[in-house]
Amino acid sequence: MAQTTRLLPSIDLIRRVVEAASAYTVSRMRVLERIPGNPIGIARLEVGDATASSALGIPSPDFNSVVGLRAGQARDIEAFVDWYRARGSHARFEIAAGDYDPAIGRELARLGFFQSGFHAALVGEPCSHASASSGISVAKAASADDMEDFLAAYVEGWGIPDAMRDRFKANVRLWRHEPDWSLYVGRVDDRPAATAILFTRAGVGYLADSATDPAFRRRGLHAALLDRRFRDAEAAGVDFVCSGADFLSPSHRNMERAGMRLLFLRAIWTPLA
């Protein structure tokens, strides 16, 4: 996957990646927000260029973080902290390299936060370059039966507790009908084994939610799902594809092997206590 000059690191490119990831998270949360009575407690707060998301019924960091904070917004941090506190939860901040300034770090430290980790953001050209290993197939979850296979592999891949699985599946079956989403099922000898999502918005293909059932790992499913999404993103005419992963995790390494490259790191700031 050859890189072109349009993917040279820049603030504009970083912000397009941040905006694509944020748009996907908001799209996921809106599905949950539409459940009658909003039982999961979905809420958002926008201040300047930054958005805080909260899902009281789902402890996932993806749904409970502030993203998009930019240099010059240190004065806005306390408003986010107070908003989370009023909701009975704790703030978590993701600061993209390129948007950070020392005033942000000083204010976070003053309010009792510390930098607890990094998250990698990767970019690449949307083109195919590999073939799936023997016995592996990847297809879109186009039918209701495909969606059940998707959900079966998803809950295994993400380790969702047994007691929560039926509720989770009921809440997200509508993913199949979301605009800008394409859902994929990876199968091994026709058995559902892995999942992934392609989200396209504003000329960007965001590669999301790839997970493999532990019983089928190390067989090339992640690479096969990447390749299929590359091909579909290219067919959709996106400018580039992007994704995120824990820094130096197997997912990060697999995306680098597939030709994507590290664009920036997000610094994760969490409360000291």
Domains identified in the chain and CATH numbers: 5-121 (no CATH), 136-237 (3.40.630.30)
Q: Is the pLDDT of residue 47 over 90?
A: yes
Q: pLDDT for 2-25, tens place per residue? A: 555 678 999 999 999 999 999 999
* Element housing 263 (H / E): strand 261-271
CB 199 within 8 A of CB 102: no
Q: pLDDT for 160-218, tens place per residue? A: 999 999 999 999 999 999 999 999 999 999 999 999 999 999 999 999 999 999 999 98
Q: pLDDT for 206-261, tens place per residue? A: 999 999 999 999 889 999 999 999 999 999 999 999 999 999 999 999 999 999 99
Give the whole-number percent of the chain exceeding pLDDT 90. Answer: 89
Query: What 8-state DSSP symbol labels residue 206?
Result: E
Measure the CA–CA gap between 143 and 37, rounded to whole angstroms: 28
Over range 27-45, report the average pLDDT. 94
Which amino acid is present at 267?
A
Distances (CA, A) of 6 to 10, 17, 114, 123, 246: 9, 13, 34, 11, 25
* Predicted model pTM: 0.92
How many residues does the structure list for the chain? 273
3-state secondary structure of 143: coil
Residues 6+ apart with CB under 8 A from 272: 112, 113, 114
Within 13 A of 136's CA, how many CA atoms are on the CB side?
Answer: 24
What is the CA angle 212-257-229, rounded to 5? 55
Measure the CA–CA gap between 64 and 174, rounded to whole angstroms: 22
Indicate the pLDDT class of residue 135, thresholds 50, 70 and 90: confident
**Can you tell me which residue has the tokens 């349009």?**
6
3-state secondary structure of 57: coil
3-state secondary structure of 77: helix
CB 233 within 8 A of CB 126: yes
